[in-house]
Amino acid sequence: MKQFKNFKAVYEKPRGKRFILLTKNIVPGKKVYDEPLIKDKGIEYREWNPNRSKLAAALMKGINDIHIKENDYILYLGAASGTTASHLSDIIGNKGFIYAVDFSPRVVRDLVFVAENRKNIAPILADASKPETYYKNISNVDVIYQDIAQREQADIFLGNFKFLKNNGTAILCVKARSVDIAKKPKQIFKEMRERLEKETKIIDYKELGPFEKDHAIFICKKK
């Protein structure tokens, strides 16, 4: 198993003419969704599917750096049942921590089961557009990661910047169709860039097709 580019806790393995992405399983023997577990030299890895995770899609599309490392604290908005959150949990390790926010009781129930094994995930049932309802439960973080299919994605993202450390990184996954079904995705991404540039410094950007059609990812820093 070889490290994937300069991403310390992400690995790659050849498969046919291509390759797959993996993270080291911090809970050996346990799957989170239906990901294959692969052993190499006594270490267990979990396959990270770019069709199931926008962050894995961004890595496959050649994003320069996701700025997430061992021991980081992460505020994850729209964690759902923990697919991507579980790979972040592998990357940050047991000294890192994820505040995993979602407003759907159904998915948070699944997330609670994931967090039973993964002690670095705290599920929080809350609406990310109302940070005042959970600010007491979280500390400042190194990374904000947002994957919320809502019209007000940008407002929610920027509304949570108060939790980001000064040198922290904020990652926004944008689903164009949720912002405005009538507009072309390229137009939505352009408008989103203009909006974000007013309040943040965008350091990287990728469109995520064909893994995630009509989605893009922005990597931002505080201005």
Please give the residue ranges that form the binding site for ligand SAM (CB under 6 A): 53-54, 78-80, 83-84, 101-104, 107, 127-129, 147-150, 156
Phi and psi at 183, nearest 5°, equal -95, 155
Closer Cβ to ligand SAM, 42 or 131, answer by number: 131
Q: Name the burial class of residue 222, with classes exposed (0-12), middle (13-18) and buried (19+) by CB atoms within 10 angstroms of its CB.
A: middle
- CB 126 to ligand SAM: min, Å: 7
Judged by beta carbon, residue 43 or residue 209, the one nearer ligand SAM is: 209
Q: Which is nearer to ligand SAM, 20 or 77 (CB)?
A: 77
Cβ–Cβ under 8 Å, residues 33 and 59: no
3-state secondary structure of 209: coil
- Per DSSP, the residues of 137-200 read G---EEEEEEE---TTHHHHHHHTGGGEEEEEEEEEEEEHHHH-TTS-HHHHHHHHHHHHHHHE
- Amino acid symbol at 140: N
- CB closer to ligand SAM, 37 vs 125: 125
Q: Cβ of residue 42: shortest distance to ligand SAM, in angstroms? A: 29
Of 54 and 67, which CB lies nearer to ligand SAM in the complex structure? 54
What's the per-residue H, E or C state across 76-110?
Answer: EECCCCCHHHHHHHHHHCCCCEEEEEECCHHHHHH
Smallest separation (angstroms) from ligand SAM to the CB of 129? 5
Residue whose CB is nearest to ligand SAM in the complex, by number: 78
In the complex, minimum distance from the CB of residue 82 to ligand SAM, in angstroms, rounded to a whole number: 6
Shortest distance (Å) from residue 172 CB to ligand SAM: 12
